[in-house]
Structure formats: C-alpha cells, structure tokens
Structure 1
Amino acid sequence: MLILKRSLLQKVTLSTLCFSLIGTSVALACSDAQKGTIEAGPADFPDGYEKVEGSKNFQHLQEVAAVPLEERKDASVTTADVFAHKGYAYLGTHRGQMTNEGVRIFDMKDPANPEEVAVIANDLPGTWQEKVIVESVSTPDFRGDVAAVSVQKIQGYNGDDQVDHGGVVLYDVTQPEAPEKLGFWETPEELPTGTHEHWVTTHGNQVLLLATNYMAHRYHDDGVDVHDFSIVDISDPANPVELSNWDPTEVDDPYFDGSYQYTDGEGASRTVFLHSVITDQTGKYAYLSYWDLGTVILDISDPENPEYLGRTKFERDVQGAAHSAALAKGGNYLIEAREVFNPDPHDDEFERGWGYVRIYDIKDKTNPELVSTFRTLNSMVQIDPDEREPGTYTVHDPKVRGNTLYLSHYSDGIRMVDITDIENPEEVGSYVSEGANVWGVFVDRNYILASDMGQGLKVLQKRGNGQSNTGSYLAKP
C-alpha cells in the first residue's frame, strides 16, 4: 500500500487501496435520514493471513480469526456493532432477515479461535440489536456485569408477533456463558422505532443509561410522550427508572424549531435526529450526535435536569451528519465521525465526497473549535460517479486508545490514525479485507475486533517472528 501526503486547506493524510467486489450482500445503512445500500463480498486471502499496512507499530498486525455470519431463512445475517469486556466479545446484529438474531457472545481466551458461548436478546420478534455495552456495576441492588442491548422495532416487519416496545434490555453477564435477563427499559408503544444507540456510565452511586430514542420527536403528534434523549437510572437493573427526557429545541439556533427537517440561517436544508451518545469518564458531560445539528454537549451532573452547553456547527458547504463521537486527550478534544452516504449532494454548495472525521477543541464546551479533519483518499477524491470504485467509503464509528484513533470505515476497512499532534492527524495503519464492509471496531487487550456486515467478526492481532501474540502495539486507554 502506498501512503501519500497532500496539502489542502490543512494537512490531511491520504491512503490508496484497491477494492474488488466478489459477490454481494446488501443491507440498509444505519441512517434512515440518508438511505444507502452497503455492498459487501467475501474475503479471499490465498497467501494466508491478511496483514495490516502501516508503521512499525502495526506492520505485524494480522487477521488471525474470521468468525462467519450465521444463516437464517437461507440468508446470511449482517452484523452491527462489537464490544469487548473481560475477555469476551459481544457482537450485535443488523436488520438481517427480520429474524431477531440478538447479540452473540464469544470467549476470546484464544483470540485466533473465538468460541461462541451464548446469545442474548434474541427473544424479541420484529426487532434488531445494533448496540451492546457491558459495564461492571456495584450498587446496593446489583453487583456484577450488566449488558445493555438496544432494541429497535423493524418498521415494515410483517409478522404478527412483533413486541410492543423498543428500548434497552438489560442482562446479567457476570457469567457470560449463562446470561440472565434482568430488566427492560421500554420506549412507549406508540413509538414505532425504539432505542437506536445508548451509553452506560456511573454517576456517584448511580448507574445511568443514556438512550437515544430514534426520531421520537417526529411522533409527538401521535401521542408519543418521550423525547429523543432519555436518562435512566439502572442502579437496580431489574427496575429501570427514567429520570429525565430532554428536548432538543433548547439548542442555540433560531431557525431550528424542533422539526425533523429545517433550513438553517445560510439556506442549507438540514435533517435533525439523535443518532448516538457518549459521556466523558466522569459521567458529567454527555455528547449527543445529532446529525445536521452537530454534536450537542449537555451537562448531566444533575441527571434529572440536563443543561445545554454548546454544540459543534457546520459550515455552509459541509453536509453535517454527526453520527458518533469519541473523546481524546483527557476529554479536551472531540472526535466527530460524520456518516455521509451521498458523495454527490443535490445542493450545489455542499462539498462532494463521503463522510470524514472532524476534530474539535472542547475545553470550552460552550464553544467547540474545529482544529483538524481526517479523510481517506477514497472518501474524498472519487468525485466522478462514472469513475468511482464500488463500495461505500464514509467513516462510521471512532474509538480512541492513547494517541491512536481507530476508525471503522465501511469499504475503507479500519483506519489507524496517530493523533499525537491532534491538529495534524496522520494515518499510520489500515486493514482492508477484500469486500470490506466494516461497521464497528473495538480495541481490547492485545487484539482489535472488527465487525464486518458481510463477513462476520474479525480479530486482528500482532504476529511477529513465529507466532508471538504478546505484542504491546495497542496503547492503553
């Protein structure tokens, strides 16, 4: 792989790759706001392990395992996000064949041979389970490991057994091989969606679930009494208690009235819905990825009364699409991943190209300041539709470990970016399997997990001379 550098408005690291498609499996992308199809094909490595290209810290990183997709109704089930906790991997599923595949749990004792030990949340017909987060909890009511799984109803499901509610279902996974259902925080029956993504954090002696209720504000006229964002006390996971229900009309844009779509002060058409949420390590600040409204920052030190502080904003030529976020440098910088599926926008004033990363200085949370961006070559230079390679090259999710930013990037696989100099991010490694379609990435212990929508669970591990798997290439959080 050839690594190039090019000067644009600022320093941007670019990389080239070859992408070929062998067969296809098609799934809807996670955003209903910008519909797109994602193509994926099987991996084919005739020379053995697939290596990761990049600097000396990543050059011995190889794909050591590829757990295939399950088949339901004679078709493969597409994967969604991936999470790891205490040596176990948790793999969510996308809409698949509308068969409620749930979350698969793998023992990662031997990273080259993940062993599936259990499945959770596969008893909720007519739903899909994109997001799973596992947290160790110690409260008067529960001590152990809790898995929180998003439950979103499938619109268009034609079965008569669809569950009435979306939301977040909670499991005791202290013993991952024998999980037990604890509780279910439910969104209103009138809401036809449910919870898309969520976060779990501790706040003093409370354990809090932060839920994004997909497009809830669109259904207020239908009697839905929940807003896009809810904070729920799950200190007793068997009895979740909603503490607050936040309304996005508090943001500082006089042109935004809470509608799903609006025209901003510069004449750009904007789409607004809450996609995902994270917090800082203290649990004091929440970062809400609010699509074209940017990343909204809330003070949640009083969980019953969230306070709006500020948000990121987009220039007239930027499509928006704040999809997900991560924090860096002790929480002083925000990594904003923008999932843009339309590289050729109808608005002539919008820039062309797939979604990319924007990095903000958020030491002053009332006024985030853009300091840099990171784009892959495929996300920006394939601007002629007649010459574009097949695939989807937008960024998806970011993860930060130390001074390395890990990005899941659909057809661009996984990108590893050095953010030591955060104003000049530089790509130092990449993993792109043939037919790549990477949804999620998670760094754990001495391996990296990737969830590929068309290929299943991938495991990347350092392999030096012989079969060493004790490398220290992964920076600590």
Structure 2
Amino acid sequence: MIGALKLEPFNAGVHADVAGYKNLAFVGKWRELCPGTGVDIIDISRPATPVKIADTLDYLDTSMEDMQAIRIGERDVLAIGLQDCGNVPTPGVGKSGLELYDITDPHNPQLLSLFDVDQSGVDVTGVHELDLTATPSGRVLALLAVPNLEALTFRPPAPSIGDLLILDITDPTNPTLIGEWGVLDEPALGLDFYLGVAQGGDARTLLHSVRANQNGTRAYLSYWDAGFIILDISNPSSPVFRGFAPKTAPDDSYGPDEEGNAHSVDEARGGNILVTADEDFSPFHLEFSVTAPASIAGQYPAVEGAFTKPIVTLPGRVMTGEVVHVGRGCPENSIVPGSPADPYLADPNGKIALIERGACRFDEKIGRAQLAGAIGAIVYNTAAGGDALVLMSGRQAFTLADGRPVEINIPGIFVGRSAGVALRDAFDAVQVVSVKASAVFDGWGFLRFFDIKDPTNPKQLSTFATANTNNEDVALEGIWSVHNPEVRGNTVYASWYSDGVRIIDISSPSAPREIGFWVGEGAPSDAPPVNIWSVVPHGDLLLVSDRNFGLYILKHTP
C-alpha cells in the first residue's frame, strides 16, 4: 500500500465500486445502505496523498454504485449508474438511469444529461452496473445492466424490454437508446429457461452486470442464475445470442447443487478466455429430510426463510424434532381487521409447527407458532402454488396483528405442496412425524476460467478459490466470496471482500496460480478490517475500494 484516503461516511459499509481515469479515481455508494450522496472524485496525481476534489450531484433515496470515464470528442465524460433505493414511497424521488458528466475540469463536474431507464413506468430499480466502449466505427456506447426490467415489462404477446440496454452516447448531451436484449425474448432461451434456472439461496434470473470486449463488438452478460451469456453486438441495435456458461445441459446453466450467482466477468487472451466470478453469499446449503415415518422418509427440496433464525447458528447446525400440523395458523386480525384466529389443530409447544401457506403473512404465522412454544416452523405451499419453493420474507421483530410483540428466534423453512401434504397426512394418521434440516457447508464464491474460442460452446478449464473460501472453520468469521475480477495481460486482479485483493497468474488458464495478495497490510491504524469491493489496475497502480474505509492505492511488483 502506498496511499489511502478515508471517505465519509466512515466505517458504515457504504462505499462501492472504484474506477480510474487519467489522474483521477472515482468511488461510488452502495444501494443497500443508500446514503443518497454522489460519486467521490479524487485526485491521485500524488498516489501517496490522494485528495478528494469534488462530488457529483446528490439525489434523495438514490445510489450510485458503478461508474466509468471515457474521452468523447473534446470532453472527458463520467458515466454513473443511478438506482432508486426504494426507501421513500413517493414516486419519482429516487432516480433510476444513467448520468453523464463533463469532467474536463474535474474540480467542477457539469451534468450533461440524465437518461431515465424507467420510461415504461414499471418502477424498475435502475442501472446496477455499466460499461463504456468505443466501436470500430467511432461510436461510443454505454451498456447498462438494468435488473428485472424484462420481468417487469413482460406482457405477452408483446415483447418485453430486456435487462440489457445499449445507449449511443457519442453525443453525451443526448444519449439515445439503440438496442436492448433479454432472456425472455431470446428464442434460444425464453420463459421456460428464465423460470427454470433460478436456484440456490438467492434464486433469481436477472442481469447483474455487463462487460464489452475491447473493440465493442461483443458483450459478456453476468445473468445471475442464468450464467454468463455471450452476445455479438457488432450491430448494437440487434444483439445476437452466441452462447452461455457454465452449462450442464442445452437448457440449463449451473449444476443442480451449485449456488449460481453469475456476478461479474472479464475477458483474457484477446477474447479466447473468459474469467468469471460467482458471488456466493450462501456458504451453507439446506438439506431437509423426513426421518419418520418410514413410509415418507427421505430428502425433500426446501429453502430457509429470510427472517427466521438461521439453521447454521443452531447447535450442530441442525433443526430436528417432532412435527405437528397446526393448520393455516393465522393469528387474530391478520387476514382482515376483526378476523378470528385460525384454530390450531395441534399444540406446537416443544415441537416443529407444520403450517399451510395462505391468507396472512409468513411472519405472522411463524411468530404465532413461536409464541405457542414451537421450536421451529415448516410452511408448505398452497394447492395453487404446488411444489414451487418460495423464499419467505418478513419482519424479524414486530407486533402481531393480534397485538402481541414477537422477535423471531426460531428457524423456519418452506417446502413444496407434496412434501407438506405428506407430512400433514402422516400426522393426521396419528403417526409420529419427525424431520431433520441441516446447514451443510459448500463454500463461498470463487473464480472460473473458460475457453471461449468457440463462443457457442464455452468449456470450463479451471477454478480458483482462496483457502478461506473453502474453510468451514472460518466460514462465519468473514465474507470469503470473490466479488469483481479485472484482467490485464496474463494477470487477474480480484476483489475478495474479507480476503482482500488477490492476484492470480493465468499464463496457463488451466492452472491459475496466486502470485500476490493484500489483506490490509500497512493500512492506517484506525482502518477497520478490510472489506474490499473492487480492485482496478490503473497504469502502475491498483485502485482499491473498501466498503468501510474508502480508497486504498497499491503497487504490485510481479
């Protein structure tokens, strides 16, 4: 480390991506905590003593995670992705789009334009990540990842608007939408693929980020559980699907036991190698089984609630016990004001309550069961919902509709209709019903390396993970997932949250080899433990954003 700059707010977890341009660094802000402040513009002409010189505009309830700068004509232009944080209920308060600034005088950034990506009025979050590229014809394009835009505009038989938007920003005062692409309207993929690939603890199909190749003719899309998608954008008005990875079958992406979460990507070897990052924040997966009666014993698909006590925190990382079926389980007033409580069909005290979905909130059902003495809860789907799994969301501490306060401190899982009915019927037949739900360690997120010389058929060559990524003993002591990779030549620079900055040699892509790392050595004495968002090579420097500290500047000597 040769330089550091503490940014406000300090030690609040809000600092996001970093970018470099000429003698400048830019640091964004994270949407989840949403301070509503602009991008920090920092003079790094003296790397040992970086100085903040300006901010971009602040917007209430708006975050600016990702940004990039480029020369357009006679201007230095900074592009910033805006996301509506959704914390203010008034429509239009949070911004969702692309800002373009003239930063030719970086001390005095001037707003040139703001392109709104929510032109259909569907309340889309905004631009999560972006990339800028200059095409062989001289056009300057902005590739925007707008998560869930295609789902929100899906109104068959009319086409949806894809999660990828392509803007021509050659005139930065007048950005123009010229192309879009999404999984739903791609004939080779479509609705069945979109719905079928979501998996793991964060099961979603959406475009998280996008990266163009060096001459702006190809786009690499990190499409979360749909994997990494390759497009030909030689004609940016009409992107062409070429292939995707990692695929286990023609209609699948990740293997059935993998988390998924295609987060970010960069190319190497002139577009022959793809370096990808799976951001896995679920180092434990759930295994649920019925242990009695023997007639229904076996494993069943299940997913933990987002607000219930994590099974990984229980003794032995296991929820086990006898199950009783209590019915729908809605408390008084929870369906409509004045509605009576659903009668409990059995006493859940000291047991695991089996509850049917429907009529009231998940947290109301589980909160009532906890107050009745349940040690855990299993919610099963309705007949209409079938065997689809739902990630139960809800409040962790609240007051039930019947007026009783509750703080959820029991585990809760959701199962499909078939599993729930099997448990219910066994209980109704006066059989002892018991289950076991275990949190099983499978590691944090890691890097993959693909041969994409034939982009229609990528082949995985190897993977790379740090020792902590796959160490169950420290699994809960930090965030040991990869975040963002950047490639220069045969070197990958990867941000790894609690594991800092990792530097990997890929001279042999089939055998990646770590050649350096930085985990806070030499940081200021008041710096919290590292929590690295991004590392970006910039000339002979490495610009590093830390979610709690701000900006670090490193030099690496191979």
Q: Which range, TM-score by smaller chain? A: 0.7 to 0.9
Counterpart-to-counterpart distance in 1, 2:22 and 2:497: 27
Counterpart-to-counterpart distance in 2, 1:435 and 1:232: 39
User: In the TM superposition, what are the counterparts of 1:70-469 in structure 2 within 5 Å?
Assistant: 70-71=8-9, 76=12, 78-95=14-31, 98-120=34-56, 122-138=57-73, 143-157=74-88, 163=93, 165-188=95-118, 189-203=121-135, 204-220=137-153, 226-249=161-184, 250=186, 252-253=188-189, 256-259=192-195, 262=197, 271-312=204-245, 313=247, 314-346=254-286, 352-382=442-472, 388-433=475-520, 435-461=529-555
Counterpart-to-counterpart distance in 1, 2:483 and 2:12: 22
Please tell me whether the aligned partners of residues 266 and 276 of structure 2 are also in contact (alpha carbons under 8 angstroms).
yes
* Residues 349-369 of structure 1: per-residue CA shift (max 9 Å, x gap): 998100000000011011111
**Cα distance 1:357–1:98, how it changes in 2: closer, same or farther (>3 A)?**
closer
Deviation of residue 391 (structure 1)?
Answer: 1.1
Extract unaligned runs of 5+ from structure 1: 1-62, 463-472
Deviation of residue 427 (structure 1)?
Answer: 0.5
Counterpart-to-counterpart distance in 2, 1:268 and 1:67: 36
Q: Which amino acid aligns with 2:2?
A: V
Please tell me whether the aligned partners of residues 207 and 234 of structure 1 are also in contact (alpha carbons under 8 angstroms).
yes
* Residues 20-79 of structure 1: per-residue CA shift (max 9 Å, x gap): xxxxxxxxxxxxxxxxxxxxxxxxxxxxxxxxxxxxxxxxxxx2222113139xx84621
Please tell me whether the aligned partners of residues 267 and 487 of structure 2 are also in contact (alpha carbons under 8 angstroms).
yes
Counterpart-to-counterpart distance in 2, 1:293 and 1:376: 25
Deviation of residue 156 (structure 1)?
Answer: 2.4
Q: Which amino acid aligns with 2:278?
A: R
Higher RCO structure (Cα 8 Å, ≥6 apart): 1
Extract unaligned runs of 5+ from structure 2: 248-253, 289-300, 302-439, 521-527
Deviation of residue 330 (structure 1)?
Answer: 1.3
1:66 is paired with a residue whose SS is strand
Q: Percent identity?
A: 36
Which residue matches 2:353?
none
Which residue matches 2:304?
none
Q: Output the TM-score relative to the length of structure 2.
A: 0.65
Deviation of residue 231 (structure 1)?
Answer: 0.7
Counterpart-to-counterpart distance in 1, 2:202 and 2:224: 12
Deviation of residue 263 (structure 1)?
Answer: 6.2
Counterpart-to-counterpart distance in 2, 1:67 and 1:302: 42
**Cα distance 1:161–1:125, how it changes in 2: closer, same or farther (>3 A)?**
farther
More strand by share: 1
Which residue matches 1:53?
none
Q: Which amino acid aligns with 1:136?
A: R
Deviation of residue 161 (structure 1)?
Answer: 8.6
Q: Which amino acid aligns with 2:105?
A: Q
Counterpart-to-counterpart distance in 2, 1:190 and 1:345: 34
Q: CA RMSD in A?
A: 2.6
**Cα distance 1:251–1:324, how it changes in 2: closer, same or farther (>3 A)?**
farther
Deviation of residue 450 (structure 1)?
Answer: 0.7
Deviation of residue 97 (structure 1)?
Answer: 5.4
More helix by share: 2
Deviation of residue 217 (structure 1)?
Answer: 2.3
2:111 is paired with a residue whose SS is strand
2:48 is paired with a residue whose SS is coil
Counterpart-to-counterpart distance in 1, 2:61 and 2:202: 33
Which residue matches 1:10?
none
Q: Output the TM-score relative to the length of structure 1.
A: 0.76
Which entry has the higher C-alpha Rg, 1 or 2? 2
Deviation of residue 94 (structure 1)?
Answer: 1.3
Deviation of residue 257 (structure 1)?
Answer: 4.7
Counterpart-to-counterpart distance in 2, 1:225 and 1:163: 25
Please tell me whether the aligned partners of residues 274 and 290 of structure 1 are also in contact (alpha carbons under 8 angstroms).
yes
Counterpart-to-counterpart distance in 2, 1:205 and 1:93: 31
1:98 is paired with a residue whose SS is coil
Please tell me whether the aligned partners of residues 69 and 76 of structure 1 are also in contact (alpha carbons under 8 angstroms).
no
**Cα distance 1:269–1:164, how it changes in 2: closer, same or farther (>3 A)?**
closer
* Residues 271-292 of structure 1: per-residue CA shift (max 9 Å, x gap): 2110000011111100000011
Q: Which amino acid aligns with 1:208?
A: L
* Residues 312-370 of structure 1: per-residue CA shift (max 9 Å, x gap): 02233322111000111111100000100000012689981000000000110111110
Q: Which amino acid aligns with 1:156?
A: N
Counterpart-to-counterpart distance in 2, 1:440 and 1:268: 24
Counterpart-to-counterpart distance in 2, 1:97 and 1:254: 34
